[in-house]
Structure 1
Amino acid sequence: MTLLHDLTGAPAGTTPRALLLRLSAIGAVLAGSAGTFAYAGGWLSPGALTPARIVDRFEQVNGPHPGFRRNHAKGLCVAGSFAASGAGARLSKASLFASGRVTPVEGRVALAGGQPYAADAEATVRSLALRFRLPDGEEWRTGMNDIPVFPVRTPEAFYEQLLAAKPDPATGKPDPERLKAFFAAHPESAKAAALIKARTITTKFGDSTYWSLNAFRFVAADGRATPVRWAVEPERQAAPETAARAARTDKNFLFDDLAAQLRQGPLRWHLVATLGRAGDPVADATQPWPPDRERVDLGTLTLDGAEPEAEGNCRDVNFDPLVLPDGIAPSDDPLLSARSAAYSRSFTRRAGEAKSPSAVAATPVRGAGL
């Protein structure tokens, strides 16, 4: 009885029937807890879309590349700072928006896709991920892309789109019939694809605009919440792609160009928030907001350093979009939680894998941030 008392908390002298009831209750709790974990892992719902299945789909489409991110696999670490303009302080109580505040930033530029040794192409979607280190241990992590909208609305559609866009080994291009079927089932994605195709493709990382795509909420000191989307817009005038540049054969020309620019001096962007109004779609990243929405220049992002991925730098950072400081909150966009969960699963997998040298071997540029 002493052992049973230790396990169940039953007082001495408990009758067998009462003890049986207590054990049954404990068993129900344990079974419920196990069921929760099983559900979260997808074990009880094999047809459900889980983070593991999303990461598996990337591997199915791109092949195995141990140690690398499953998407945006080819990248270069960057560093610098963010100087707040003070204009964001009325919208968000996040400390980095206070007037005069300068926040250290580390980040990563990358190309979409899960093949780390693929040759650079100007039409490939570019990304800029940033990690702002705020006082008191707070952080803000954000991943942005150089497209104005996201091609899908839901995690399920994203999972389907990955397979629909998989290149045919015989042609090197997606099967047009498979893409046609996907767009027929997802007309919102067809509209988004048209907007993405119509964007101006610039020649460099340093003259690209990067959009948050998903909506978030800025929360002011008085509790007022404002739906926002943000972008970083370059100070350098964007140079459109030319036929001569598109024909370049250097496999890493976009990354090499960025390193060369930083050796000449810092690159700057303005972090601009677009404020949503009632009725604007905050849970659908395929839809742009109307062009007349208020825009607020929150401050200047300066990048002055770059180095290849290696142990201890951006290679080992999970740029989870839900790592947010007090004053920035997620919206109801279902892609946000899906991105966060898939990033975590991908990070866990690659953390346990042997690492290969960076696919981009640019000479380090030592700015103040490195």
Structure 2
Amino acid sequence: MADSDPQQRPPLSPVNLALRLGAIGAVTVLIAAALAYTGGYFSPERVTPARVVDVLEHNNGEHPGFRRNHPKGICVTGYFDSNGAGVELSSAEVFSATRTPVQGRFSLPTGNPYSPDSAAPLRSMALRFQQANGQQWRTGMNSMAVFPVGTPEAFFGLLQATAPDPATGKPDPKKAGAFFAAHPETGAFLAWVKTAKPAASFTTETYNSVNAFYLTNAAGVRQTVRWSMVADAQADSAAPTADDYLQADLQQRLANGPQRWSLILTLANPGDPSNDASKAWSGEHRQVNAGTLVIEHEQAQDNGACRDINYDPLILPSGIEGSDDPLLAARSAAYAASYQRRAGEVESLPHHANAAQEQRP
């Protein structure tokens, strides 16, 4: 993903940083809007989930039947093979030495379902683990390791500072530069932005939870973790230039055999923040390889298994809990509002006809 010698790259100007952030802005727009819902930052009126979706539609355009964020994607199915190592950390059935069916989705983090695959350097993976006991684990992960900032106020400020100027259609470099100067916590994210390039394949990316979660084992011992899906496949040197190369690449790779990722649980050390997704956990950490995700098949998202799944990060089985990170509750509320609106549209669209709506457990 990164150049071999990033330090030889010229530094990005504030306006270029703003433009790069704009290219992956769908992710930050959704989180910032969701935070506005929970914190009331769009005063004087408190923002409802419906108004959050309105903001997304205003920023991204209206695309009925599609997700309001990450609308361009592809469904995948497979399973998770636990190796039993996660049992010491969590009582969740998914970590026992069993095979768990998985319905997932790869996506591009823009607000337009017709965006070219090169429009953003970020790739996303969402998964639903369907345990035999009826409980589910849903997770949405991204190829970046941290969020830009860690508080609702700062995130709203970032959204304002990088918003397009009506006169130019581009961010104001003075506003963007002033924001970054006032928020040194953005350094980790900006370091990623400076070297990030669009990947040539969904299958070569590592996907990170970014937010922290709590795992609780059978003895009641709770451990703060972040997790990652680390790809077995090796990254290619450069991405193609075609608009839709990611789907074609995935189809070709799956035709040659299943694709695999290792689920790596990173255990927090004392002092690691559980409530600030902008901070990397630095230094040595114990990591547990809990098993292997195997993706076997892909389907178009119009009628695939993932189409009617809301990948709410707080739908969790016993043994996994959301942390005190305020982003988690905010994401859950915004996802629910977006899903409700989308579910009401699909029946009226020819390519979504006769689809049964998923019932939330």
Q: What residue in structure 1 maps to residue 22 of structure 2?
A: none
Deviation per residue, 1:13-52 (Å, 9 max, x gap): xxxxxxxxxxxxxxxxxxxxxxxxxx9897xx74445433
The answer on 1:107 being equivalent to 2:104 is yes
Question: Distance in 2 between the 1:164 and 1:353 partners?
Answer: 33
Q: What residue in structure 2 maps to residue 299 of structure 1?
A: 291
Q: What residue in structure 2 maps to residue 74 of structure 1?
A: 72
CA 1:63–1:97: 2 relative to 1, 3 Å: same
Greater Cα shift, 116-125 or 102-111:
116-125
Deviation per residue, 1:59-82 (Å, 9 max, x gap): 222122222111111110011000
CA 1:90–1:143: 2 relative to 1, 3 Å: same
Select which of 249, 254, 264 maps to 2:246: 254
- Aligned residue runs from structure 1 range 21-36, under 5 A: none
Deviation per residue, 1:215-254 (Å, 9 max, x gap): 001101111000000000011122243xxx35x1x21111
TM-score w.r.t. structure 1 length? 0.77
Select which of 51, 54, 59 maps to 1:56: 54
Contact 1:149 1:196 in 2 (8 A): no
Q: What residue in structure 1 maps to residue 232 of structure 2?
A: 235
The answer on 1:289 being equivalent to 2:281 is yes
Question: Distance in 2 between the 1:126 and 1:152 partners?
Answer: 19
Contact 2:139 2:209 in 1 (8 A): yes
TM-score w.r.t. structure 2 length? 0.79
Contact 2:76 2:305 in 1 (8 A): no
Question: Distance in 1 between the 2:122 and 2:172 partners?
Answer: 20
CA 1:68–1:225: 2 relative to 1, 3 Å: same
Q: What residue in structure 2 maps to residue 92 of structure 1?
A: 90
Q: In structure 1, what residue type is equivalent to 2:49?
A: P
* CA apart distance, 1:173: 4.8
Contact 1:309 1:358 in 2 (8 A): no
Where structure 2 has 5 or more consecutive residues not aligned to the other structure, the ranges are 1-36, 353-361
Question: Distance in 1 between the 2:232 and 2:176 partners?
Answer: 37
- Aligned residue runs from structure 1 range 42-191, under 5 A: 46-99=44-97, 101-121=98-118, 123-167=120-164, 173-191=170-188
CA 1:240–1:351: 2 relative to 1, 3 Å: same
Q: Secondary structure at the match of 1:305?
A: strand
Q: In structure 2, what residue type is equivalent to 1:107?
A: G
Q: Secondary structure at the match of 2:118?
A: coil
**Structure 1 runs (4+) greater than 4 angstroms displaced:** 39-42, 166-173, 354-359
Where structure 1 has 5 or more consecutive residues not aligned to the other structure, the ranges are 1-38, 360-370
Q: Which structure has the greater CA radius of gyration?
A: 1
Q: In structure 1, what residue type is equivalent to 2:89?
A: L
Contact 1:73 1:110 in 2 (8 A): yes
RMSD, matched Cα: 2.7
Q: In structure 2, what residue type is equivalent to 1:346?
A: S
- Between the aligned residues of both structures, percent identity stands at 50
Question: Distance in 1 between the 2:156 and 2:351 partners?
Answer: 28
CA 1:163–1:115: 2 relative to 1, 3 Å: farther
Q: What residue in structure 2 maps to residue 269 of structure 1?
A: 261
Q: In structure 1, what residue type is equivalent to 2:232?
A: E
Question: Distance in 1 between the 2:48 and 2:270 partners?
Answer: 32
